[in-house]
Amino acid sequence: MNVPIGASWRRSAFRFRRPLAAALAGLAVLLTISTLTSTPAPTPTASARDWSSPGEVTVPVPLAVRSVADILDPGDIVDLVSVTEDGRAQVVASRVRVVEQPGSGAGGFTPAEALLLVSVPAGDALDLAAATARGGITVLIHGSTPTTALDSQA
C-alpha cells in the first residue's frame, strides 16, 4: 500500500500532538523570557534624590501660600521659618537649597498651596519634618548662590 507523504506526516503529527504542543509552549515561554531580559532598563532621569549633596537629604515642604513658592527657582538659598503656636517665628532650617517645585496641584495640594523640595543637612531633617507637620512654613530668600560658595563659608 502506497501512502502519500502528506498523510504519513499528518499521522505522525497526530500521534505526537501533545508532546509537540508542550515543546511549542516551552519555546514560547523561553522566547518571552529572552525578550523580557534583553529589553534594556529605562535610563533613570534626574530626580530630587540625585540633587542632594553628601550628608544632605531632600525634604518636601508644604507652603501655605503658592505665590511664595512661585518666585523660587532651583538653586535658590532660603531659610525655612515656622510659626509657633504663640505666633512667634522660628528658623527651622538655615541656608538650605531649593531643589524643585513640583507642578501645581501635585499630591493633593490646592492651587493656593505649594510643595517645595529642599536639600537640607541630615541633622536638620527631623526638625524640619516636625515643623512641616505643624504647618505654617514660609521662607526667607537669600538668593541664588552656588553650593561651593556656601561650603567655603562654613
Residue whose entry in the numeric block shows the C-alpha cell 511549542:
24
User: What confidence score (pLDDT) does residue 20 get?
Assistant: 77
Domain spans, the chain: 5-38, 48-153
113, three cell numbers = 498651596
In tens, the pLDDT along 17-33 reads 888 788 888 888 888 88
pTM: 0.55
Work out the average pLDDT over 55-66: 83
Most confident among 37-41, 54-58, 105-109 (mean pLDDT): 54-58
What is the distance between the alpha carbons of residues 143 and 145, in angstroms, rounded to a whole number?
6
Helices 5-15 and 17-38: crossing angle in degrees, nearest 10, is 70
On the question of pLDDT at 100 being above 80, the answer is yes
Positive or negative torsion for Cα 6, 12, 18, 24? negative
Report which of 139, 144, 17 is spatially closest to residue 82, judged by C-alpha positions: 139
User: What confidence score (pLDDT) does residue 52 get?
Assistant: 63
Work out the average pLDDT over 43-48: 50
What is the distance between the alpha carbons of residues 139 and 77, in angstroms, rounded to a whole number?
10
Do 119 and 99 form a contact (C-beta atoms < 8 A)?
yes
